[in-house]
Amino acid sequence: MSNNLVSSIIILLVLASSLMGQTYTSVAYKYANVRFPGAMLTIANGINNGDVIVGSFFDSNSSVHGFVYRKGKYVQVDYPGSTETEILGINDNGALVGTYQVPGPLNFHGFLWQDGNFTNIDEPQAQFGTKVFGINKAGTMVGSLDDTHGFILKDDSFTIFDAPSPSGTQASTQLNGISNLGWVSGQVLSGGSWRGFWFKGGDLDFLEKQGASDNQVTGMNGRGDIVGCHDAMSGFVSFRVETGEAHENGEAFPRQQNLASCPSGINYARVVVGNYFRINQPAAFIAVPQLTLNVVGPRDHSVVSTPLQFLASASGINPLQEIQLWVNSKKVSFAKGATLNRKVALPAGANERVVVQAIDSKGTKAKVVLVLTVQ
């Protein structure tokens, strides 16, 4: 499919969503290991829009070093004189940020590596240490001091950021990344559990309602997609997080698509890196999109009238076979190729299950599931 045709379809879907309700995205991923040669454990912490991966690894002596993976080659990175080095983020210009350790009471320090030179970064109020987790193309950095307060570092000036928490609770804020849009991701320890969030300017949104299981928002890209983790075990990706379904005080909670394990970063092409955190999985992972499905339809869990119009388009690394429309486990319509435009009569009732599914020539599937009440 030509780039011009794909662009035209995307524009059509955006216009249609403004008229019809909601746009949903589903991505089918293919996973591969990321493992520094000879390492006991490899941890992937970030990826930029050039598909350069950064992270850290444990060598045979259990010492920790940073690494950069670019075009099939690994390069070890150590802050001069450090006992441990972790690279936690990279921007599109190749600038690296992270943390290193040295002996002594203030033993965690942040750093910036740019144009072959290291710069030490210490937030002046830090007692235990400074960690720099992210940097965007403009050079704005985010991180945490003493693992209790977030900070934004712009033009050599620190701004402390503490996320909102329930009155009377002692909170700890950690910031994980910043996108080229200037959106920041992180989590706050609130009411005894971690609660993931992102913010742009003065608008902060939480991933889930207060009291849900521990969750973190670990990274985001320039599309407004986020990735994160639950209880440091199960991972997720949410696409275009400013358009969700469930609400708390008028704020939307985004749909979450499960990933194999905990992601740490996502780039504009929606390539994801992350970690398994399992004894039998010493490697990190990279997840590459194979098939992407976009669907325009009614809001999930809404009340609708029949018939309903559905628009869908799909693209991927293999030719598209067809897009199917299923209602309550019965295939009711399909279209050959990469687009579908159908008006479908639905049975009246509550909890009617509608599935739009794309299939490519290799049998790879991506699907969007909606549950509707039909009048």
d(CA 261, CA 236): 8
Total Cβ atoms within 10 A of residue 320 = 22
- 168 and 304 together in one domain: no
Q: What is the CA radius of gyration of the chain?
A: 22
- 48 and 143 together in one domain: yes
- 231 and 303 together in one domain: no
Q: In terms of Cα–Cα distance, which of 240, 125, 134 is closest to 178?
A: 134
Residue-number span of the structural domain to which 99 is assigned: 29-287
- 178 and 281 together in one domain: yes
- 149 and 63 together in one domain: yes
End residue of a domain, out of 254, 271, 287? 287
- What distances in angstroms separate CA 16 from CA 67, 90, 114, 323, 344, one per listed residue? 44, 36, 44, 18, 16
* CATH, residue 124: 2.120.10.30
How many folded domains does the chain comprise? Answer: 2
Please report the beta strands in 201-329, taking only residues with DSSP state E, as ranges in sequence order. Answer: 203-206, 215-220, 226-230, 234-238, 246-248, 251-253, 257-259, 262-266, 272-275, 284-297, 303-304, 308-316, 320-327
Question: 29 by DSSP, 3-state: which?
Answer: strand
Q: At 67, list the tokens.
A: 């690494």
* CATH, residue 344: 2.60.40.10
8 A C-beta contact, residue 296 and residue 243 = no
Tens-digit pLDDT string for the chain (375 aa): 444 444 444 444 444 444 456 899 999 999 999 999 999 999 999 999 999 999 999 999 999 999 999 999 999 999 999 999 999 999 999 999 999 998 876 689 999 999 999 999 999 999 889 999 999 999 999 999 999 999 999 999 999 999 998 776 777 999 999 999 999 999 999 778 899 999 998 899 999 987 778 999 999 999 999 999 998 679 999 999 986 544 445 556 899 999 999 999 999 999 999 999 777 778 899 999 999 999 999 989 999 999 999 999 999 999 999 999 999 999 999 999 999 999 999 999 999 999 999 999 999 999 999 999 999
